[in-house]
Structure 1
Amino acid sequence: MIDLDLPKPDQRPPCEWDLPGVGDGADVFALLCQRADVSVQWETLQVRTRRGGLHLYYTAPSGARLPSTTGSLGWLIDTRAWGGYVVAPGSTVTLPDGTGHYRVQHSAIPALLPPSLFKLLQPAPLLAKRPANVPIPDDRHSAYLRAALDRELAHLAAAQPGQRNRALFGVAAALGELIAGGALPEQPIKELLEQGGGDLGLPRSEVVRTVESGLRHGARRPRRLTAA
Structure 2
Amino acid sequence: MPRTRRRSRRQDPEVVRLRGAALDAAAAGLFVFPVKPGEKLPAVPRHAARHCRQRGICADGHQGWEQRATRDRAQIYAWWSGQPRFNVGIACGPSGIVVIDLDTSTDPLPDWGGATTGREVLDQLAARHSGELTDTYSTRTPTHGEHLYYRMPAGLELHNTTQGLSGSLGPLIDTRAWGGMAVGAGSVRPEGAYIVAEHGQITELPDWLATLLTPAPPPQRPAAVALPTRRANAYVAAILRDEVGQVAAAQAGSRQSTLYFTAYRLGRLVGGGELEADHVAALLREAAAGHIRDDAFGPDQANDAIARGLHKGAEDPRYIDEHTSTRDDDTADAGP
- If the TM-score is normalised by the length of the shorter chain, which range does it land in? 0.5 to 0.7
- Where does residue 169 of structure 1 map in the other structure? 262
- Where does residue 33 of structure 1 map in the other structure? 126
The SS at the match of 2:123 is: helix
Whether 1:3 and 2:122 are equivalent positions in the alignment is no
Gaps of 5+ in 2: 1-98, 240-256, 276-319
Gaps of 5+ in 1: 150-163, 179-183, 203-228
Q: Is the 8 A contact 1:67 1:201 kept in 2?
A: no
Which letter maps to 1:77?
Answer: I
User: CA offset at residue 100 of structure 1?
Assistant: 1.0
Whether 1:75 and 2:171 are equivalent positions in the alignment is yes
Count of equivalent residues: 161
The SS at the match of 1:16 is: helix
Residue 194 (structure 2) aligned to one of 88, 102, 110: 102
**Whole-angstrom distance in 2 between the partners of 1:77 and 1:131:** 34
**Whole-angstrom distance in 2 between the partners of 1:82 and 1:165:** 22
Residue 184 (structure 2) aligned to one of 88, 94, 100: 88
**Whole-angstrom distance in 2 between the partners of 1:53 and 1:5:** 5
The SS at the match of 2:169 is: strand
Q: Is the 8 A contact 1:4 1:77 kept in 2?
A: yes
Cα RMSD (Å): 3.4
- Where does residue 47 of structure 1 map in the other structure? 139
- Where does residue 114 of structure 1 map in the other structure? 206
Q: Is the 8 A contact 2:187 2:194 kept in 1?
A: yes
Aligned ranges 1:48-63 → 2 under 5 Å: 48-63=140-155
Aligned ranges 1:132-171 → 2 under 5 Å: 132-133=224-225, 135-139=226-230, 168-171=261-264
Whether 1:64 and 2:156 are equivalent positions in the alignment is yes
TM value normalised by structure 1: 0.60
User: CA offset at residue 32 of structure 1?
Assistant: 0.4
The SS at the match of 1:197 is: coil
Q: Is the 8 A contact 1:5 1:76 kept in 2?
A: yes
Q: Is the 8 A contact 1:58 1:112 kept in 2?
A: yes
User: CA offset at residue 166 of structure 1?
Assistant: 6.5
Task: Report Cα offsets for 1:39-80 as digits up to 9, x if no partner.
Answer: 222x10010110111110001112311121111211211110
User: CA offset at residue 173 of structure 1?
Assistant: 4.5
Q: Is the 8 A contact 1:67 1:123 kept in 2?
A: no
Q: Percent identity?
A: 33
Q: Which has the larger radius of gyration?
A: 2
Change in Cα spacing, 1:171 to 1:53, as seen in structure 2 (3 Å) is: closer
TM value normalised by structure 2: 0.42
